[in-house]
């Protein structure tokens, strides 16, 4: 198979309800681009019929389809990394399988790449998600913008295009818990953004309940910034300084005006302050734990995922060739 101009990488986890519509819209949209392409689906250990549907699609379009099958669920971002490791295109586009990213929008990303950008991020113009998700995303985008050196408008949008160099760099990064759009951004020399449409989920429901969403955002923040840790040292220093100052003031006042204590007691509640500080300390401790836990994962250096099989034409030809050879061997044995 010659190297295609475009690879489209799509992680798939329990998307049996969306896949038929995705196939029906994605391939015509890619055909319309008039360029050579391949689509790489990474089945992230789906427990529904997704793997079977992907295999059927591969049999229908073996020339332009490749399927990486994980043996278990490792998460959306590891799935994208596997797609990066297996794709061959000069340009690589990532998108979701649930049709929230319209395949027709890929053309827009490619226009920006033609203009010389090596990284094109999508910005969901009118986001079709719950108000809670929109609010949380806005807050997290703001936090990331302030405490990392990664600048993007819409970190959650997976409809993005990357140059081959960036994809190779991401694939070579041995990071265990990562956030692809941010990691890729660190390798980009000329990034840009374009507005893209966004749709409601075609079928099924989001795979990100609150807990997974929080974990993902910890991956993003801890992966790209040490500021949270530094904030705690700053906060600790500030608290010590304030405590010292208060101590001096209190002692001085006690020496001169004993009655002042009544006024102070209006604002001064040691129990509440202690609760507040204990809360901050536990949060800080937990935060250190988040970093230490990730270091622990990283030093163990386990494989990030296991691939059960890869469906691709080369493999199909190999399988067919093998079958033919077996038949030939059998028939020549007959003749003997
Ligand atoms: N996904 C995945 N592994 C997971 C969770 C999600 O491969 O553990 C895929 C999913 O099939 C979809 C994309 O990642 O193609 C985005 O997931 P989803 O639409 O549930 O996220 P949301 O749009 O709610 O952020
Ligand atoms: Mg979605």
Instruction: Work out whether the CA dihedral 139, 143, 144, 145 comes out positive or negative.
Output: positive
Pick from 8, 9, 11 the residue to mutate for probing ligand 1's pocket: most ligand atoms within 8 Å of its CB: 11
Distance CA 212, CA 218 (A): 10
C-alpha of residue 124 to centroid of ligand 2, in Å: 12
Tens digit of each residue's pLDDT (9 = 90 or more) over 211-221: 999 999 999 99
As residues whose CB is below 5 A from the ion ligand 2, the structure lists 96, 98, 100
pLDDT for 260 beyond 80 = no
Distance CA 81, CA 180 (A): 8
What 3-state class would DSSP assign to 183? helix
CA of 22, nearest ligand number = 1
Token readout for 61 is 């379009």
Reported as a pLDDT band with limits 50, 70 and 90, residue 322 is low
120 contacts 194 by C-beta, under 8 angstroms: yes
C-alpha of residue 83 to centroid of ligand 1, in Å: 14
The DSSP bridge partners found for residue 258 are none
Is the model's pTM score more than 0.85?
Answer: no
Distance CA 101, CA 106 (A): 9
Tens digit of each residue's pLDDT (9 = 90 or more) over 262-305: 666 666 778 878 888 888 888 888 889 899 988 988 888 778 88
Token readout for 131 is 């108000």
Per-residue confidence (pLDDT) for residue 103, from 0 to 100: 96
Pick from 98, 140, 204 the residue to mutate for probing ligand 1's pocket: most ligand atoms within 8 Å of its CB: 98
Mean pLDDT of the chain: 89
Percent of residues, the chain, with pLDDT higher than 70: 90
The DSSP bridge partners found for residue 192 are 120
Percent of residues, the chain, with pLDDT higher than 90: 63
**Burial class of residue 142 in the structure, from the number of CB atoms within 10 Å of its CB (0-12 exposed, 13-18 middle, 19+ buried):** exposed
Distance CA 113, CA 108 (A): 9
Mean pLDDT for the stretch of residues 308-315: 84
Mean pLDDT for the stretch of residues 44-51: 96
- 3-state SS, 40-100, equals EEEECCCCCCHHHHHHHHHHHCCCCEEEEEECCCCCHHHHHHHHHHHCCCCEEEECCCCCC
Phi, psi of 142 (to 5 degrees): -70, -45
Pick from 76, 200, 215 the residue to mutate for probing ligand 1's pocket: most ligand atoms within 8 Å of its CB: 76
C-alpha of residue 100 to centroid of ligand 2, in Å: 6
Ligand 1 neighbours (beta carbon < 6 A): 11-13, 15, 44, 73, 75-76, 79, 96-98, 100, 206-208
What 3-state class would DSSP assign to 121? strand
Tens digit of each residue's pLDDT (9 = 90 or more) over 16-28: 999 999 999 999 9
**Burial class of residue 197 in the structure, from the number of CB atoms within 10 Å of its CB (0-12 exposed, 13-18 middle, 19+ buried):** middle
263 contacts 218 by C-beta, under 8 angstroms: no
C-alpha of residue 151 to centroid of ligand 1, in Å: 23
CA of 217, nearest ligand number = 1
- Which of 11, 83, 13 lies closest to 45, judged by CA? 13
Closest ligand 1 atom, residue 79 Cα: 7
182 contacts 220 by C-beta, under 8 angstroms: yes
Determine which residue's CA is closest to atom 1 belonging to ligand 1.
76
Determine which residue's CA is closest to atom 6 belonging to ligand 1.
76
pLDDT for 85 beyond 80 = yes
Of 3-7, 55-59, 183-187, 234-238, the poorest mean pLDDT is in 234-238
Closest ligand 1 atom, residue 75 Cα: 8
Of 16-30, 45-59, 94-108, 231-245, the poorest mean pLDDT is in 231-245
Alpha-carbon torsion, ordered 214, 216, 221, 223, to 10 deg? 150
Of 151-160, 203-212, 268-277, the poorest mean pLDDT is in 268-277
């Amino acid at each position: 198979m010659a190297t295609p101009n475009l690879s489209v990488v799509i992680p798939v986890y329990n998307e049996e309800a969306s896949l038929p519509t995705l196939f029906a819209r994605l391939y015509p949209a890619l055909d319309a681009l008039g360029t050579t392409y391949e689509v790489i689906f990474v089945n992230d250990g789906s427990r529904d019929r997704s793997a079977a549907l992907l295999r059927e699609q591969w049999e229908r379009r073996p020339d332009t389809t490749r399927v990486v099958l994980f043996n278990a669920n490792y998460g959306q971002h590891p799935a994208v990394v596997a797609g990066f490791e297996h794709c061959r295109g000069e340009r690589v586009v990532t998108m979701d399988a649930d049709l929230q990213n319209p395949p027709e929008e890929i053309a827009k990303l490619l226009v920006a790449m033609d203009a010389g950008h090596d990284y094109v991020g999508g910005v969901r113009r009118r986001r079709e998600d719950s108000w809670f998700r929109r609010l949380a995303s806005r807050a997290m985008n703001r936090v990331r913008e302030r405490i990392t050196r990664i600048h993007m408008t819409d970190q959650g949008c997976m409809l993005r295009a990357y140059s081959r160099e960036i994809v190779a760099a991401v694939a070579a990064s041995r990071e265990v818990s990562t956030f692809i759009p941010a990691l890729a951004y660190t390798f980009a020399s000329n990034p840009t953004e374009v507005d893209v449409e966004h749709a409601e989920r075609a079928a099924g429901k989001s795979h990100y309940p609150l807990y997974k969403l929080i974990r993902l955002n910890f991956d993003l923040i801890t992966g790209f910034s040490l500021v949270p840790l530094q904030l705690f040292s700053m906060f600790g220093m500030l608290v010590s300084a304030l405590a010292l100052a208060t101590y001096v003031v209190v002692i001085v006042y006690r020496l001169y005006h004993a009655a002042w204590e009544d006024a102070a007691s209006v604002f001064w509640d040691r129990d509440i302050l202690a609760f507040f500080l204990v809360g901050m300390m536990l949060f800080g401790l937990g935060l250190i734990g988040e970093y230490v836990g990730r270091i622990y994962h990283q030093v163990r250096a386990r494989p990030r995922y296991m691939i059960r099989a890869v469906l691709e034409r080369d493999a199909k030809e190999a399988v067919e060739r093998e079958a033919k050879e077996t038949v030939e061997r059998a028939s020549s044995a007959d003749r003997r």
